[in-house]
Structure 1
Amino acid sequence: MIGSTNILNSGGQINLGDERIILEPTGNFNSVEDIREMLITVGGGNQLVKLGDITTVSQGYIDPPTQRVRINGKDAISLHVNLKENANVIELGEEVNKVVFDWQKRIPVGLELTRVSSLDTYIDVKVNDFISNLMQSIGIVLAVMLIFLGIRTGFVIASLIPIVTIMTLMIMGLMNMGLNQVTLAALIMALGMLVDNAIVVAETIMVKMEQGIAKKQAAVEAFTELWMPLLISTLTTSAAFLAFYLSPTTMGDIVGPIFVVITIALLSSWIIALTVITTFCYLFIKVQPKGERKQSIIDRVINALKGKYKDLILVALRNKYKIIIGIFIAFFASLFGFGYIPFIFFPDSDRNMVTIDINLPEGYKIERTTEVVKKLEQYMSDSLKVNDKQKTGILDWSSYIGEGPESYDLGYSPDEPNSNYAHILVNTSSFNENVAVIERLDNFTFNSFPNADIKVGALGAGGSGTPIEIKVSGSNPDELSKISETIKQRLSSISGTKNVKDDWGPKSKKFLIKIDQNRAQTAGVSSSDIATSLQTVLDGFQTGEYREDDKSIPIIMRSSAGQQQSLASLETLNIYSQTSGKSVPLLQVASIEPQWQYSKIKRFDLRRTINITSELREGGNASAITAEITPWLDEQKKNVWTIGYEYEFGGDAKQSAESMGSVIGYLPISGFIIVLLLIIQFNSFRKMGMVVLTIPLGIIGVVIGLLTFREAFGFMPFLGVISLAGIVINNAIVLIDRMEIEQKDLGRSEQDAVIAACLQRFRPILLATFTTVLGLIPLYISGGEMWEGMAISIMIGLLFGTVITLLFIPSLYSALFKVSYKGYEFNEELLE
């Protein structure tokens, strides 16, 4: 009757002269009092009474609640603010702070507004840190220029840095690219590479001026000689990063801007080096002819190093095949060394934030979940909260019961709503306190809640999932559960695992109302009558909607609160027949039987699938654990499991395979572009092959660096490897191009041309290495765990890559072009 009375429907239209007028019947409830005053029939339709006389009509919240929010131990309401596309999160944070400050003055005493997650503050701090890192890197590169090249030449080359930086930022602005960790890190990575062009140009002009060539002529010849090889080396370096930009994965979206920023910076550097730096060299650099110039201390050091390098290169060229074989042996040894490097796809976030996920056994009431949360909150307040006596620990926390909050960080994904679930977001006094807080919370929850599944951990920086996840698919739930138990036992026995569980959980109880259809029909009740009566007594039955302003509020009819969720109430429950208007006892037409069922049955690709997951203990290695359990899984699938049951890895393993696999899938495009550019530059397959062979050799230094500094390999170090390949290619191109110039343009013999090119490019390559390596030190020290592995990969990899370039390229060149050094007498003029 409530639904048929409370209508909001059109009555049609009626003709009135030349018009058609809408008819609109009234009857919808305008207030709660209207519902109370509504007349209903009772006693077989012979008597009318007001609904409010026989029921209690009230307006309130859902009872029991489906979710609750608590902040610092007090009941609260949570408000989540999302960022629009291309909006500035820092500016949004400032606007939110203004609103919070304004409302703090308006709200009644006893209420307060608290920001529980401030991504804008974190990003603001990180961006400022990266700007500081960028300034430090610029200062370091400038210092290296001044020390190695002198005041005048150093300032000429260093002038490229602010010009290129400003050009890059302007172009980024035109492309709507903002400053963030990734774009600023790209600028830091590009610093050492972009001064390389200026160093090569200035060094070439200075050498020509030392040879007695006039300034203007020296500048013109340097421009003519270098514009093409420098452009090719710039484009090949940029092409190395192209795969990250093309990758359609989440990680591609994160690091893809590195390709754009580095491409803009390097092309800007190429333009400025060939125009502005060439002009500055003509205007400001003064070089005396050989023999007249007084050498500085740095010049003497460089010349001494060049002399040592000359001896080393002669030994290498006379034993070129041994050098080539030795370097390839070192390369394959480094591949073997990769097995000793732990794999972490993405490190934990460096935010001062800890999360707690609570899952009680399936079917637990939200009231019980709330009790667990309150007990945990009390422990945090008593033992971990920062106060006058305890200066470090937990600042504040927010608890979300029944349903997690909206996504507040890339490393967090909301779980499914459930009365047995809770999520607690904890803000600590500093990132360094996270480990201690996690350890104490882990111990407390383990000892206090033995029947609960509680995960305490840090946020993942890249949205990474569970370290170990195994998906098993099949048709029979019982068989899947049995397989899951054996996998959990095997996984728990492997060192380094903890919190091993599956996502179906233990079976939960339910009561089956078995209806005797013959007795029900005799009594005049239907299955629908029984279900409606049960729903009315227990959860409530929706009979209509009450409209208030622009909101629709469900009208729920249910029995008194004392009868809700009580098994005893079922035994005395009367079933009301919609047709006869009579009631019969439930036990007269049905029986109540307890039954166990799976709490959840999940599907993946339309197949029943159970996920077995595991966290890692301190020092645990996901890749090693995966490698250990894989043969056992294959054996189980082949010899134990029923046909049709399959497994696959998910979690970090799957995410890393998808992200890194996607990048690797686009590397052939980068490789094709690089090969094409090299053929254009050298018009020689052998010379192109020489450059390509140098690309993987940088891995030697990467492995040594990661093992020495005990860094894990993952997505960011992988980015470092690709970056290193671009830099090594750059050095190889410039070196081989110089060999051609020495031989074709200067008429030197093949033996002299190789050695002269190496000595000529020794200082520029050395300087480019120093500027890149030293310029990355601030990023390594202050960039956080996310950038440490990448910085180490580039820094140590480039140090070894430089040695390989200066020894491997000339050795390989002399081998491929059959340049013999037997009986060769070194021409001392090549050192001048």
Structure 2
Amino acid sequence: MSDPVLPPSAHAGWPGKGLIAWFVSNPVAANLLMILFLLGGAITAFTMQTEVFPTLQPRTVQVAVIYPGATPGDVEDSITRRIEEAVIGLEGVDRVRSVASEGRGTVTVELQDFADAQVVKDDVETAVSAIADFPPADAEQPQIRVPQPVTTILTFALTGPVDEAALREAGSRLERDMLAEDGISTVRLRGVRALEISISVSEDALREYGLTFTEVADAVRAASVDLSGGEIRTRSGDILLRTNARRETGDEFANIILRSSETGARVRLGDVAVINDGFEEDPLISRFNGQPAVFIDVQTQGSEDLLGVRNAAIAFAETASLPPGVALEMVVDQSQVFRDRISLLARNAIIGFTLVFLLLVLVLDLRLAFWVSMGVPISFLGGFALFGMAGVTLNFITTFGLIVVLGIVVDDAIVVGENTDRERQKGRSEEEAAIAGVTGVAAPVLVGVLTTMAAFGPLIFSGGTFGEITRPIPIVVISILAVSLIEAFFILPSHLAHGGHWSRGPLARIQDKVAQILTAFAEGTVSRWAHFAARMRWLVAAAGIAILILVMTLATSGIVRFVFFPAIESEQITADISLPDGAPFTATRNAAEQMIAAAESIQREYAETGEPVFKSIEATIGGRTSLFGGPGSSSTTTIASNAAQIQIQLTPSADRTTSSSELESLWRERTGQLAGVEQLSIISSAGPQDADIAYELSHPENEALEAAVRQLADWLAEIDGVSEIEDGLDIGKRQLNFTLTPAGEAAGLTPRDVARQVRQAFFGEEVQRIQRGSDELRVFVRYPEEERVGLSELGDLRIRTRDGESLPLSVAATITESRSYTRIERIDGRRIVEVTADVDEARLTPGEARARVESEMLPQLVDAYPELRWTLAGAGREQAEDFASLGRGLLIAIVIMYALLATQLRSYIQPLIILIAIPFGIGGAILGHFILGYPLSFPSIFGMVALSGVVVNASIVLIDRYNLNVNERDMKAEDAIAEAAGRRFRPILVTTLTTALGLLPIIAEQSPQAQFLVPMAVSLGAGLVFASITILMLLPALVMIVDDVRASPLTSLAVMAGLVVALILLSVAGLIGLLVLLAVGGLIGWRVWRKRRLANA
């Protein structure tokens, strides 16, 4: 912030003068207030809840129905479509999205902003319960819930050369013991198969004993019961009655009697069936560094403290009792990200504080510099106390806000301190100088801080997920700025009023020399330029606007590209392998093992050079685990025989010279071609992983929808730089359909009879559920696996008629083949298909690719298929919503800033001159990205929003001093603006440099956790420096132009029209010069690169 000065009349009437004077005369009160901020903030900081991301309020209601063995089409017709019809249109519902997959239907009800999730949940429950004949007979009851955010903070691997059952049992015991620890509430096993008792009955055994599947299933149900029989009331008391014959193990089920004869002969279940008390049939292999493994995720939810849960979990792991040969290793520590961010903040705050202090020592007395610098810790700790009371936690987003405010928090103290020093130089006593120093700038300082608050304030009320995630940032910034204002008005003056001068000897001489240089430059060069700009105002204004246009052209022309999130090196590489649906598990395992072997070869190669790059290799074959990251993230394993995932944890970036992207490329190269793999995705960067291009297409006719989707996918493939195209047409497994033959109908069979017996034999009939510890175990009766592996076995299946006869399925029904979708998605009652693709940002940006799709391809599709509807999805939709929210916030902020400035300056026109600093600040931010080689990104834009509240303060300095010179000192306009520029140069320079120096350590930071902060710091630092310089050069011209327009509107308009041509010519000439400069720079760079390449060869 800079040093605006109001006319003496305005200063003298400032209402807080008496309170300021009281604090100046009562240093004990000032010190107690300072101690209150310091102690209160320290206590709050050490006791504040910590978490990776802010806990988000639930924004969805989810309805899930398990329908075992059902195809996606069956699930769509019987489950998801019926739920949609019931809940669409309920109050508070924004959108209804459903997914029908094999054996499961999920309907997600997305809420409108500020809707009450619990109220909507109650309405959904009422609507679903009113659906007639729902759910189908073989489906489970709907599970309706409001998903609560759960974050995985630690992952342990339980590994060793033991069998699956022993490893799972050890994991379950650790899970139970860990949950018994204080401070740990959520622990989950991952990479394990569900427990199951499978009763396999062969067709030969059924024939031999004259049994049917139904008889076997009914006998098991009847023999394994645990039922209450009421109670008997006796004189001695009530006695409960209970039949307890529940079977819980495979051996107990084997003793069930299926049939007994008059001679006493008994047929037991064990005589007829093979009973396997083990795991479900879907194969799943989990490995950690080549050994069998079970993974244990420690999670937080709600208001749980991240570091508290982490410490409790690690303490437990260090003393855990393990079976022989089994080891427990920590794989991932998500809290490390948070701790690295805190370390980054502390390190850069110390460096920035030191740089700011050294700068202030050059231009201010040592005591003044010290107490001005002390505004940083006082404001930060006092801010902790304020935003802690507002319910803000210490998290990833909060630290972002702390870093944003780091460079601007001392600006008001600098203004007060500099003005106090000026008053003391006039011969006032220390107490009088302190009081006059504050009251002389109190109103503009207040307005300056309020304009900065105004830039952030509207973000508090932003809607949607983005608004909720970023809400802590404005709260943190406003809290710290509020405390800094109190410190500058009441604590700092008391310290400046007592203690005398601290600068002595060489330091004092250096300060005098710096002061002489700054004064000479301000009164000479700066004042002369201001006179020149005032006289040549139209030309200077045109040149300034031309420069701004040229700088903006860097972004609009694509020279400075835009990416939503900057590429950040990750310390994890994740590979996802997908084979076609229905592919055998052996093919998936072979592909995964080929990738694992390639990774292990890289690991050995680097280890031999003394630079290990891999800490661990985790593999899940037969499933996929969700990635870490993002608000409310957790890890879940989806079982799929055609999928595999390999995660490599890298050593810290500081300990290796090879980047994660280079290791990713090497891994791809070593892996080579994977046989049968449909899709291979390898990710080595952090940040959002949504597809760069994503569109949802819908059409009433499925055939037309499929044709449109394929056409769009083909067109996308023709765009250079677009890859990883997914058409969303998940044509899944082969499907066999059964239709009764005349022979089947003659035998008295119905389609239901055939469907049930086929289901019993191949999927199995669930006969019981058993609770074994924390696991729910299912009991199935089905064919043995060897009788379910070929089409011939299917045709030989004996279908029983109601009179006890049987005939082969191939006789009873006609078998035809088709394809089933893997998943069917619907939005608001319309079936949709999502087309996605990724973009090589070295060739084009996602925005450029989406612009081409929406301007060329989608209109052609709509012409070809008139009923086709499309909507932006994925990252594009989120970005559009985020920028709309940010744009609304910036517009509101500018309106508030205008009102504040107009009130202070008592003018409608002058605030507009001040606000012109905003586009110049944005131009400076773009130029900073260009010079440092960074693309624009969302953090860059966020930095520009923060900049808009800071950059206007340099303009306030000149306009306020100009008003004082004209109104109070009766100076001519040109002399008044020239004197104002020279007089206020030093405070503008100091506040600009302190902000830039405070951000410099972040801009220079190379650690991965800082890379998404660097663009924000570049926007704020470069934008402020560029705007301050241009405002000093341009504002005198703008002020004089306003006076010209007031004096002679017609003449001014004629001059303005003539200069439009000059402006265009200047812009074109500048653009040509810029292109020539880029061409020359590119040629030089190419020649240097070629020379190095030849030298390396």
TM (normalized to structure 1)? Answer: 0.90
How far did residue 748 of structure 1 move?
4.4
How far did residue 53 of structure 1 move?
1.4
User: Among 1001, 1007, 1023, which residue is 1:797 paired with?
Assistant: 1023
Q: Which residue of 1 aligns with 2:323?
A: 108
**Higher strand proportion:** 2
| AA at the equivalent of 2:317 | V
Q: Which residue of 2 aligns with 1:489?
A: 714
Q: Which residue of 1 aligns with 2:290?
A: 73
| AA at the equivalent of 1:28 | R
User: Among 795, 809, 834, which residue is 1:586 paired with?
Assistant: 809
How far did residue 139 of structure 1 move?
0.8
Change (3 A) 1:414 1:54: closer
| AA at the equivalent of 2:829 | L
User: Among 315, 322, 344, which residue is 1:98 paired with?
Assistant: 315
What secondary structure, in the 3-state scheme, does the structure 2 residue paired with 1:78 have? strand
Change (3 A) 1:545 1:215: closer
Q: Which residue of 2 aligns with 1:245?
A: 460
Change (3 A) 1:422 1:94: same
Give the alignment of 1:38-437 within 5 angstroms: 38-41=256-259, 49-65=267-283, 67-103=284-320, 106-175=321-390, 177-284=392-499, 296-306=512-522, 307-339=524-556, 340=558, 341-385=560-604, 386-389=606-609, 391-405=611-625, 408-410=628-630, 417-431=639-653, 433-437=659-663
CA distance in 2: counterparts of 1:801 and 1:730, whole angstroms: 10
- Native 8 Å contact 1:80 1:406 kept in 2: no
| AA at the equivalent of 1:569 | E
CA distance in 2: counterparts of 1:15 and 1:414, whole angstroms: 51
- Native 8 Å contact 1:90 1:121 kept in 2: no
CA distance in 2: counterparts of 1:658 and 1:400, whole angstroms: 35
- Native 8 Å contact 2:402 2:477 kept in 1: yes
| AA at the equivalent of 2:517 | V
- Native 8 Å contact 1:11 1:25 kept in 2: yes
Give CA-to-partner distance per residue, 1:19-59, whole Å, 9 cap, x none. Answer: 88664344432554432222224999998521111112231
- Native 8 Å contact 2:587 2:676 kept in 1: no
How far did residue 543 of structure 1 move?
2.2
CA distance in 1: counterparts of 2:263 and 2:499, whole angstroms: 108
CA distance in 1: counterparts of 2:533 and 2:790, whole angstroms: 88
Give the alignment of 1:707-786 within 5 angstroms: 707-746=930-969, 748-782=971-1005, 784-786=1010-1012
Over aligned residue pairs, what C-alpha RMSD do you find? Answer: 3.1
CA distance in 2: counterparts of 1:332 and 1:44, whole angstroms: 103
- Native 8 Å contact 1:83 1:92 kept in 2: yes
Change (3 A) 1:329 1:118: same
How far did residue 12 of structure 1 move?
4.9
- Native 8 Å contact 1:350 1:784 kept in 2: no
What secondary structure, in the 3-state scheme, does the structure 2 residue paired with 1:713 have? coil
How far did residue 305 of structure 1 move?
2.4
CA distance in 2: counterparts of 1:756 and 1:44, whole angstroms: 121
Change (3 A) 1:366 1:176: farther
How far did residue 745 of structure 1 move?
4.6
- Native 8 Å contact 1:503 1:612 kept in 2: yes
User: Among 827, 832, 848, which residue is 1:604 paired with?
Assistant: 827
CA distance in 2: counterparts of 1:631 and 1:707, whole angstroms: 28
Query: Are 2:657 and 1:448 equivalent residues in the alignment?
Result: no
CA distance in 2: counterparts of 1:636 and 1:594, whole angstroms: 35
- More divergent stretch after superposition (275-284 vs 260-269): 275-284
CA distance in 2: counterparts of 1:43 and 1:375, whole angstroms: 58
User: Among 608, 619, 627, which residue is 2:851 paired with?
Assistant: 627
Flag structure 2 segments of 5+ consecutive residues without an equivalent: 1-217, 1049-1097
- Native 8 Å contact 1:93 1:121 kept in 2: no
Query: Are 2:808 and 1:808 equivalent residues in the alignment?
Result: no
What secondary structure, in the 3-state scheme, does the structure 1 residue paired with 2:297 have? coil
Change (3 A) 1:346 1:533: same
Change (3 A) 1:780 1:153: same
| AA at the equivalent of 2:539 | K
Q: Which residue of 2 aligns with 1:439?
A: 665
- More divergent stretch after superposition (403-412 vs 269-278): 403-412
CA distance in 2: counterparts of 1:248 and 1:278, whole angstroms: 41
CA distance in 2: counterparts of 1:418 and 1:64, whole angstroms: 8
CA distance in 2: counterparts of 1:287 and 1:750, whole angstroms: 40
Change (3 A) 1:208 1:383: closer
What secondary structure, in the 3-state scheme, does the structure 1 residue paired with 2:440 have? helix
Give CA-to-partner distance per residue, 1:122-165, whole Å, 9 cap, x none. Answer: 33233212211111111111111112335344224223233323
Give CA-to-partner distance per residue, 1:155-201, whole Å, 9 cap, x none. Answer: 24223233323323343444454545544443343243222212221
CA distance in 2: counterparts of 1:549 and 1:221, whole angstroms: 75
How far did residue 308 of structure 1 move?
0.9
CA distance in 2: counterparts of 1:272 and 1:628, whole angstroms: 53
Flag structure 1 segments of 5+ consecutive residues without an equivalent: 823-832
CA distance in 2: counterparts of 1:547 and 1:724, whole angstroms: 59
CA distance in 2: counterparts of 1:220 and 1:700, whole angstroms: 39
TM (normalized to structure 2)? Answer: 0.69
CA distance in 2: counterparts of 1:615 and 1:352, whole angstroms: 22
- Native 8 Å contact 2:739 2:814 kept in 1: yes
Give CA-to-partner distance per residue, 1:505-551, whole Å, 9 cap, x none. Answer: 355422222322x4223224333332333233323221223454665
Q: Which residue of 1 aligns with 2:751?
A: 527
What secondary structure, in the 3-state scheme, does the structure 1 residue paired with 2:1038 have? helix
CA distance in 1: counterparts of 2:433 and 2:1045, whole angstroms: 30
What secondary structure, in the 3-state scheme, does the structure 2 residue paired with 1:602 have? strand
- Native 8 Å contact 1:318 1:821 kept in 2: no
Change (3 A) 1:678 1:589: same
Change (3 A) 1:600 1:443: farther
Change (3 A) 1:285 1:729: farther
Give CA-to-partner distance per residue, 1:792-818, whole Å, 9 cap, x none. Answer: 112221111102322333332233244
Q: Percent identity?
A: 22
Give CA-to-partner distance per residue, 1:213-259, whole Å, 9 cap, x none. Answer: 44443333332222121111101101101233332344434443232
| AA at the equivalent of 2:905 | F
- Native 8 Å contact 2:788 2:794 kept in 1: no
What secondary structure, in the 3-state scheme, does the structure 1 residue paired with 2:607 have? coil
- More divergent stretch after superposition (124-133 vs 381-390): 381-390
| AA at the equivalent of 1:802 | S
CA distance in 1: counterparts of 2:974 and 2:401, whole angstroms: 40
CA distance in 2: counterparts of 1:525 and 1:35, whole angstroms: 32
Q: Which residue of 1 aligns with 2:885?
A: 662
